[in-house]
């Protein structure tokens, strides 16, 4: 009989949908930004799940903006053309030849593949990169890094235009300057700035960790909510360390620029976005400002 063992019966299905209703209502017609990266981008099953989640959210009236990186595919393409990848302070050294390849992989291959996947799942999507509509203006971050950009300005009009027409904007993080140069932009940084400029309801950053753990070896020590004013202390204590520091700084930046809530979620968990947006459970770490309150 349906309902025995682990199967869900119709009454349980209905209950799940009813429980999702307040969350659907809360996010209806609001903008959320999803920064997509990590294992969820490499593993085909997870990729399918993420794209399905995004289409579902879009179809229930949530305006989803997808911002993506693509580090592993860039590294793979650079090695195919015989270019060795070097990193300085966690950022990829990008010379003129490399930035052309970065642009080709990010704005071409990855971006269009994601658009295709979303559309195959029943969504409507349009691919954009930071050069389109002069969206992400940048300048050189550091001479040692070459064409790695620091964002100087963000114009979200192209994103808003695409959302208004009922499409999901899929944004690859290539920047431009007035001299016609292209820049490789860190996807976490770009997502935070775009989310801040949109004053969106929430930013979801997909990573390959559970969230912020008080003890990095114990998943039960997940910190489910962090006030941005407490984050510097957690960095000093070493709770937030290494590669998580720049990610957390991006979360803080987004909140300070007007984003309601920022979530760091584990993209290795199937349907992580749905669990975080439409259930009581919540699976990652939520960052909020001091004056935050739940409406």
**Helix residue ranges, H only, 60-87:** 71-80
Per the CB < 8 A criterion, the answer to whether 196 and 209 are in contact is no
Asked whether residue 1 carries a pLDDT value surpassing 70, the answer given is no
Residue ranges and CATH numbers for the domains of the chain are 24-288 (3.40.1160.10)
pLDDT, tens only, 76-106:
999 999 988 888 877 889 999 999 999 999 9
pLDDT, residue 89, reads 77
Residues 6+ apart with CB under 8 A from 215: 221
Beta bridge partners of 203: 33, 262
How far from the centroid of its chain's Cα atoms is residue 231's Cα? 20
Looking up tokens 């289409």 gives 55
Residue length of the chain = 295
Which residues are known catalytic residues?
35, 38, 71, 188, 247
Per the CB < 8 A criterion, the answer to whether 199 and 154 are in contact is no
pLDDT, residue 219, reads 86
For range 38-54, the mean pLDDT: 90
Asked whether residue 290 carries a pLDDT value surpassing 80, the answer given is no
pLDDT, tens only, 148-175:
999 999 999 999 999 999 999 999 999 9
C-alpha to C-alpha distance for 289 and 255, rounded to whole angstroms: 7
> pTM here?
0.92
**Phi and psi of 128, rounded to 5°?**
-135, 155
User: Which pLDDT band, with edges at 50, 70 and 90, does 32 fall under?
Assistant: very high
C-alpha to C-alpha distance for 181 and 107, rounded to whole angstroms: 15
User: Which pLDDT band, with edges at 50, 70 and 90, does 4 fall under?
Assistant: very low
Looking up tokens 């309801």 gives 201
Alpha carbon distances (Å) from 221 to 30, 212, 217, 289, 295:
31, 8, 9, 22, 27
pLDDT, tens only, 207-250:
888 899 998 888 889 999 999 999 999 999 999 988 888 889 99
């Amino acid at each position: 009989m349906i309902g025995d063992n682990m199967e869900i019966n119709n009454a349980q299905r209905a209950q799940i949908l009813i429980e999702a209703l307040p969350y659907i209502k809360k996010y209806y017609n609001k903008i959320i930004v999803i920064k997509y990266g990590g294992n969820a981008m490499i593993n085909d099953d997870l990729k399918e799940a993420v794209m399905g989640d995004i289409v579902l959210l879009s179809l229930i009236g949530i305006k989803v903006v997808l911002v993506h990186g693509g580090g592993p595919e860039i590294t793979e393409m650079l090695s195919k053309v015989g270019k060795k990848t070097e990193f300085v302070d966690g950022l990829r050294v990008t010379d003129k030849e490399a930035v052309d390849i970065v642009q080709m992989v990010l704005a071409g291959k990855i971006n269009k593949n994601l658009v295709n996947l979303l559309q195959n799942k029943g969504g409507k999507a349009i691919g954009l990169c930071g050069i389109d509509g002069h969206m992400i203006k940048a300048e050189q971050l550091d001479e040692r890094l070459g064409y790695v950009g620091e964002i100087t300005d963000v114009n979200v009009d192209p994103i808003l235009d695409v959302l208004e027409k009922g499409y999901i904007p899929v944004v690859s993080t290539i920047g431009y300057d007035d001299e016609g140069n292209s820049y490789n932009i860190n996807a976490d940084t770009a997502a935070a700035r775009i989310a801040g400029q949109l004053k969106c309801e929430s930013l979801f950053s997909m990573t390959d960790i559970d969230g912020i753990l008080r003890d990095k070896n114990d998943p039960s020590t997940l910190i489910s909510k962090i006030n941005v004013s407490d984050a510097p202390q957690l960095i000093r204590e070493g709770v937030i360390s290494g590669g998580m520091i720049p990610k957390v700084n991006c979360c803080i930046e987004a909140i300070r620029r007007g984003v309601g809530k920022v979530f760091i979620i584990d993209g290795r968990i199937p349907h992580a976005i749905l669990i975080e947006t439409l259930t009581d459970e919540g699976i990652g770490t939520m960052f909020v400002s001091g004056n935050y309150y739940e409406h």
